[in-house]
A and B are shown apart, each in its own frame.
Chain A
């Protein structure tokens, strides 16, 4: 574990990504102090450029963009983490069941996985949200439910190679039950790829939420970075700051989680780095 942390932190991009993620989490916790004004409050100055009064300027209705960015961070992080937890849980359960059982359970689950993998997530999420109504809970649920297939495949592959190893056979010989064998013996050894997939899932979930909001399907009661860009689309001529700041916030957040995911992957498989160069 110690050497893992050292390898991870020595990888400069990964360390920078982790620092940005921690910074975002800190900012989310401190929002009430950092952004005093309500991001949805319609103010007096429309299209005020960035300056001392409004750090990031104001939008077409005079709403404070700095405050919107900070409140949007809460939405993006909540969606990213909760959707990734949902998809990882489903993926681990499906992959473990398929890999451990084998036989018809495996073929059936893999057909379902294939179906979910082939259906375009963005379009399906758009349909579901536009039919069932917008709301952050639904967005998290939909992204989570549509993002599990890669994790399921990874975990299945790990289970297939692990279940015939000697230490598993030894554990089985002691007479422990199947569930215990799965969760106590095999799963801990199969988690590494799931953790990598999970952190990349967070990045994808943030991007997907922003895309849905950009189609006007964001939660109407919350400010989100995608919604801010959706709003900016009509006013690109009037103020660059309406688009620059929310877009940069999405970009940096997604980049940070991608860097962390790649960093974990490389720290777990030190040989990966050498073989690529």
Chain B
């Protein structure tokens, strides 16, 4: 192992250790909410759906609800470490399984939205940085203002009314048509058609963010000395912009996407609700309606863990990509 790899490894290890107190903090917050909520903690652990009394009795024993609070926290933590997030009677399945079943749909939706936002956002940002205050640049600034202020669920409703109900270009709701071929290309095409509108709705905020950031960082980089040198060397303008400048202006985009992961998941929950997309967000909505508390708490823990992990990966990616970052 050479020196750079060793320091990178140390950096990763140090950052991973720093994430542990955050994870513990989130668990404690969850525990405190369960105990502060009105009514008995057991109601929250079981949910509103009728559960057999034997299960309720076993649960109070497992969680030590008659013991001191610190012991309860310890037991609660022990169960989480084993991946036990409780049982959902509304879904007749362990909570972890319920969440994992819905994960692919959410990943497909938010992944598509991120790719869309990255490609279009960077393209808009770079093109408008080439000609500040041009028509395209003004369009980009207006778009970024709109993207920041538009409630994503209203945008979803507008897209449904315009492109699904009025023009009938795309389906309004769901993930796959019931008439579609249950396997193969028919199913894929049906999912793709269902995916376009929700992914578009979800991407707008990030498109706005990416175009703003990449425009600003391109403007900054194009003023730097090494670009002047490249120009002096007689390199073509296209080569300067797309090879030399763009590569370095990508760094802030990595950070922005990483640190806005929570927003992405929140947006996904709202968009899934509007489009009846069968992901974790729709599950959250249904669980709130049926007061299925174990699932709600489980989703919160899963989302927090996801955010902490993505932040960690962002830091590592940034350190890896930018040699100036001190490891």
By beta carbon, the residue of chain B nearest A256 is B149
A122 touches B154 (CB 8 A): no
List 7 tightest A-B contacts by C-beta distance, closest first.
A247-B154, A122-B266, A255-B149, A120-B262, A131-B37, A254-B149, A115-B25
A130 within 8 A of B: yes
B151 touches A255 (CB 8 A): no
B299 within 8 A of A: yes
A119 touches B304 (CB 8 A): yes
Contact of B157 among A122, A127, A128, A247 (CB under 8 A): A247
Residues of chain A contacted by B29 (CB below 8 angstroms) = 115, 119, 124
Tell me, rounded to whole Å, the shortest Cβ–Cβ distance linking A17 to chain B. Answer: 10
A128 touches B33 (CB 8 A): yes
Q: Count contacts on A: residues with CB < 8 A to the other chain.
A: 45
A229 touches B25 (CB 8 A): no
B154 touches A243 (CB 8 A): yes
Contact of B284 among A111, A118, A126 (CB under 8 A): A126
A207 within 8 A of B: yes
Q: What per-residue 1/0 map shows which CB atoms of B245-279 lie under 8 Å from chain A? A: 00000000000000000100110011001100000
Q: With A118-B311, A243-B154 as known contacts, state yes or no: A216 contacts B219, CB within 8 Å.
A: no
By beta carbon, the residue of chain A nearest B25 is A115
Assembly CA distance A277 to B300 (angstroms): 41
A191 within 8 A of B: no
Assembly CA distance A119 to B26 (angstroms): 7
A250 within 8 A of B: yes
Assembly CA distance A255 to B147 (angstroms): 10
Of the listed stretches B67-75, B115-123, B190-198, B285-293, chain A binds B285-293
Residues of chain B contacted by A128 (CB below 8 angstroms) = 33
Extra 10 A-B pairs, beta carbons < 8 Å, given A120-B304, A123-B284, A123-B299? A115-B26, A123-B303, A123-B304, A126-B288, A130-B288, A132-B38, A216-B285, A236-B160, A258-B148, A277-B219
Residues of chain B contacted by A259 (CB below 8 angstroms) = 145
Assembly CA distance A242 to B251 (angstroms): 43
Tell me, rounded to whole Å, the shortest Cβ–Cβ distance linking B208 to chain A. Answer: 11
B296 touches A120 (CB 8 A): no
Q: What per-residue 1/0 map shows which CB atoms of B277-316 lie under 8 Å from chain A? A: 0000000110011010100110110011001100100000
Residues of chain A contacted by B269 (CB below 8 angstroms) = 122-123
B149 touches A258 (CB 8 A): yes
Q: Count contacts on B: residues with CB < 8 A to the other chain.
A: 49
B22 within 8 A of A: yes
A251 touches B33 (CB 8 A): no
A232 within 8 A of B: yes
Residues of chain A contacted by B308 (CB below 8 angstroms) = 118
The A interface, classified by DSSP as helix, strand, loop or mixed, is: helix
Q: Which of A114, A127, A207 has the most CB of B within 10 A?
A: A127
Assembly CA distance A11 to B273 (angstroms): 38
Assembly CA distance A143 to B158 (angstroms): 27
Tell me, rounded to whole Å, the shortest Cβ–Cβ distance linking A172 to chain B. Answer: 34
B37 touches A229 (CB 8 A): no
Residues of chain B contacted by A226 (CB below 8 angstroms) = 151
A217 touches B161 (CB 8 A): no
Residues of chain A contacted by B145 (CB below 8 angstroms) = 13, 255, 258-259
A233 within 8 A of B: yes
B53 within 8 A of A: no
Assembly CA distance A267 to B245 (angstroms): 31
B151 touches A207 (CB 8 A): yes
A240 within 8 A of B: yes
Contact of A211 among B146, B265, B266 (CB under 8 A): B266
A237 within 8 A of B: yes
